[in-house]
């Protein structure tokens, strides 16, 4: 049986063949390469000087280093004291706006490869929709978890919190980017209160324009209905019918 026609539609490791009871050398070498790429995605540092098309402010979580980040997810959900002081020094948000936060999360490759082009699409679409950006900047937080948006939201009080973060790398997807949207992020919320747009990574996942289209739909509906998470469904596809 040939798997060639199926391989054109998936990156899954199918139809690898065998050499006796083992994998062929080519398949084993390919697996080793993909495993190394997944490990590197976690360990490679994120260059915080990366240009992303909007002014940035660097904040830090309570994480000491990358090993601490992996062992203590709770620390990645909280800002350190100096970062809290920075946020408290900013003016309070008086109008409806979107807070943009980005982190390398579990894949630095994801933000290195996709953050700037995705944000270019999202910022343009937010401008078309007349939805302002909180403080006209993005906040970059290395070694953060998704829940950090609640710690930031507790201080700045935006209408919508957008966390753009590197996803857990897989053997065929070491650079997958995700976006989490939370209505009025604050302490005490959980992931059930968020909407997620996952697998942003052309050519094998969502394109930047597709991801931004979904994000704008969810942001608009979240503001209109004052909800997010399991109570808000992504029905953006209905706009295309």
Percent of the chain beyond pLDDT 90?
A: 71
**Helix intervals (H) in 130-195:** 148-156
* Range list of H helices, 129-207: 148-156
Closest by CA to 101, choosing from 140, 153, 148, 142, is 140
Q: Would you state the structure tokens that stand for residue 28, as one six-digit string?
A: 């084993």
> What does pTM read for this prediction?
0.90
DSSP 57-90: EE--BS--SHHHHHH-TTGGGSB-HHHHHHHHTS
Contact between 170 and 201 (Cβ < 8 Å): no
Burial class from Cβ neighbours inside 10 Å (0-12, 13-18, 19+) for residue 141 reads buried
Q: Minimal CA–CA distance to 113: which of 217, 218, 13, 204?
A: 204
First to last CA, the chain: 39
List the 133-140 sheet strands across, edge first.
Answer: 56-58, 133-140, 98-103, 160-166, 177-183, 194-200
Q: 164 near 129, Cβ under 8 Å?
A: no
- Note the pLDDT tens digit of each residue in 190-239: 999 999 999 999 988 999 999 999 999 999 999 999 999 999 999 988 77
pLDDT value at position 156?
Answer: 94
Tokens 């992996």 correspond to 70
Q: What is the mean pLDDT of the chain?
A: 91
DSSP string, 92-127: PP-S--EEEEEE-TT-HHHHHHHHHHHHHHHHHHHH
126-152 pLDDT per residue, tens? 999 999 999 999 999 999 999 999 999
Reduce the DSSP state of residue 198 to 3 states and report it: strand
Return the domain boundaries, the chain.
52-240
Q: Which CATH number describes the domain made up of 52-240?
A: 3.40.50.11240
């Amino acid at each position: 049986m040939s798997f060639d026609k199926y391989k054109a539609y998936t990156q899954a490791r199918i139809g690898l063949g065998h050499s006796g009871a083992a994998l062929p050398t080519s398949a084993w070498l390919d697996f080793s390469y993909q495993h190394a790429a997944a490990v590197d995605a976690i360990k490679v540092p994120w260059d915080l000087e990366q240009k992303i098309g909007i002014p940035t402010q660097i904040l830090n979580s309570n994480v000491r280093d990358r090993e601490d980040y992996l062992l203590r997810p709770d620390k990645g959900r909280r800002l350190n004291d100096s970062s809290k002081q920075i946020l408290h020094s900013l003016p309070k948000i008086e109008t409806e706006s979107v807070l943009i936060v980005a982190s390398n999360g579990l894949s630095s490759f994801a933000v290195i490869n996709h953050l700037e082009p995705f944000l270019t699409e999202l910022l343009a679409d937010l401008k078309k929709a007349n939805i302002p950006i909180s403080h006209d900047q993005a906040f970059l937080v290395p070694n953060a978890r998704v829940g950090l948006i609640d710690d930031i939201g507790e201080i700045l009080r935006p209408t919508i919190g957008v966390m753009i973060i590197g996803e857990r790398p897989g053997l065929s997807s070491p650079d997958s980017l995700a976006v989490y949207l939370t209505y009025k992020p604050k302490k005490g919320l959980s992931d059930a209160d968020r909407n997620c747009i996952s697998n942003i990574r052309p050519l094998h996942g969502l394109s930047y324009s597709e991801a931004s289209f979904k994000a704008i739909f969810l942001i608009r509906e979240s503001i209109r209905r004052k909800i997010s998470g399991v109570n808000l469904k992504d029905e953006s596809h209905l706009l295309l019918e």
